[in-house]
Amino acid sequence: MRVSKKKIISIMLLSLLTIIIAYMIPVAFYETVSGLSGYSPDMLDSSITVEIQHPDGITDSYQSNSFPVVNRGDVLTARIPLPDQIEIKDPAFCFHVYQSVLTLYCGDRAIYHYGGQLADAGHMIGGIYTSVVLPPDAAGQVLTLRCEVQEQHTVNFLFASYIIPISFIYLMFMLILSFLMDIYASYQKQQEARRLECLAYTDCLTGLSNRSVFEREMDDLTQHPAEPFSLIYFDLNHLKLANDRYGHDMGDHYLKKAAEFIASSCPEASAVCRIGGDEFVAIFRKKNIARTELAIRELDRLTADINSSGAFPFLFSISYGVVQSTAQAPLSPDEALKKADSEMYLCKKRTYLSGQDF
């Protein structure tokens, strides 16, 4: 299984685009955000007021739903009044905290704190993504967000230096994934082809070959008139009574067990087919035409054994007719089938006359 050149080129172009985007995102992020970014479409609107106290004592005020750039020493305070009736689809504030101590108040109550211990230890961590779930009584109160920036913003070139090896691994992963997907798609096609073939040539109830296979075998015999063959025509006895008295589930069980016995009795047949409701045919060709007698003896033995075991609440019985076409007494396939059918009915009649009833 090979991945097409067109698919390889598409994956490489996609990977190149991903590399470019992956390189631009961290640079753009660290060049525009220092301290904090936050969002929640259901709550951030034009009513937010933001105040930034700078280390030099200057205070800036804003009214916006986006947080401005902050730097070391700045203290950002955002106040967000919530309406009395509020429906929050996503009941959380989401933050990307960078080198800052963050505290969120609902009214006078602090409901979230991040970074205090890190600041005390001098181990602030940049790029922490977190979210805060609002309490049930948040409606009608004022959310106050306080962000104390501990470290100056810097561009993270270290992350960018990992782009090339990470991107190479990503490219290899995509190629391998594409290869495996092609293998899986091919496997699915093969499975579907097998399923369709099974539907076309297999009897779904018994698992034997169906009438299409039988007709194909008969056509092939017709095209080779000099070839000797033998044919056994099988028919279950009292299937209709079994269905009427014990239900169709029992009738199906009867059919499947009969098919199992016929198949196991005719291992050297070129085809064992179910050609009708309770009718089966086994065809023996070439050197195996003499095996019909052994097949019948084995079928009689299996039938006797299952009747002795009492597995069925009625007499398990299969009638059959055997015909051979030889060089000395040739028969056409159609003639052989009609003769075997006649022999099978004679067998059925003898079974009924012998007193073996249902």
Q: What gap in Å lies between CA 278 and CA 236, rounded to an integer?
A: 6
Of 290, 352, 349, the closest CA to residue 322 belongs to: 290
- Overall pTM > 0.75: no
What is the predicted pLDDT for the residue at 72? Answer: 84
Residue 35: which residues within 8 A CB-CB, separation 6 or more? 67, 69, 70, 71, 74, 76, 97, 98, 99, 100, 147, 149, 153
What is the predicted pLDDT for the residue at 287? Answer: 80
Report the amino acid identity of residue 92: A
What is the predicted pLDDT for the residue at 169? Answer: 76
Q: What gap in Å lies between CA 273 and CA 192, rounded to an integer?
A: 23
pLDDT in tens, 20-48: 665 555 444 444 334 555 545 455 455 77
What is the predicted pLDDT for the residue at 53? Answer: 92
Query: Side-chain half-sphere of 305: how many Cα atoms within 13 Å?
Result: 9
Cβ atoms < 10 Å from Cβ of 235: 21
Helix, strand or coil for residue 212?
Answer: helix
What is the predicted pLDDT for the residue at 37? Answer: 57
What is the predicted pLDDT for the residue at 7? Answer: 65
* pLDDT tens for the 358 residues of the chain, in order: 455 666 666 666 766 676 666 555 544 444 433 455 554 545 545 577 888 899 998 998 877 655 566 788 889 888 888 777 665 555 566 666 778 888 989 888 998 888 888 888 888 877 677 777 778 788 888 888 898 988 775 544 444 455 667 667 777 777 777 778 778 888 888 888 777 777 778 888 999 999 999 999 999 999 998 899 999 999 999 999 999 999 999 999 999 999 999 999 999 999 999 998 899 999 999 888 888 999 999 999 999 999 999 999 999 999 999 999 988 889 999 999 999 999 999 998 887 776 666 6
What is the predicted pLDDT for the residue at 132? Answer: 76
Helix, strand or coil for residue 214?
Answer: helix
Q: Are 243 and 250 in contact (CB under 8 A)?
A: yes
What is the predicted pLDDT for the residue at 157? Answer: 42
> E strands within 156-264?
229-236
Cβ atoms < 10 Å from Cβ of 208: 22
Report the amino acid identity of residue 174: M
Alpha-carbon distance values, 298 to 154, 176, 294 (Å): 88, 54, 6
Specify whether the backbone of 192 is left (phi greater than 0), alpha (psi in -120 to 50) or beta.
alpha
Q: What gap in Å lies between CA 257 and CA 265, rounded to an integer?
A: 12
Q: Are 104 and 143 in contact (CB under 8 A)?
A: yes
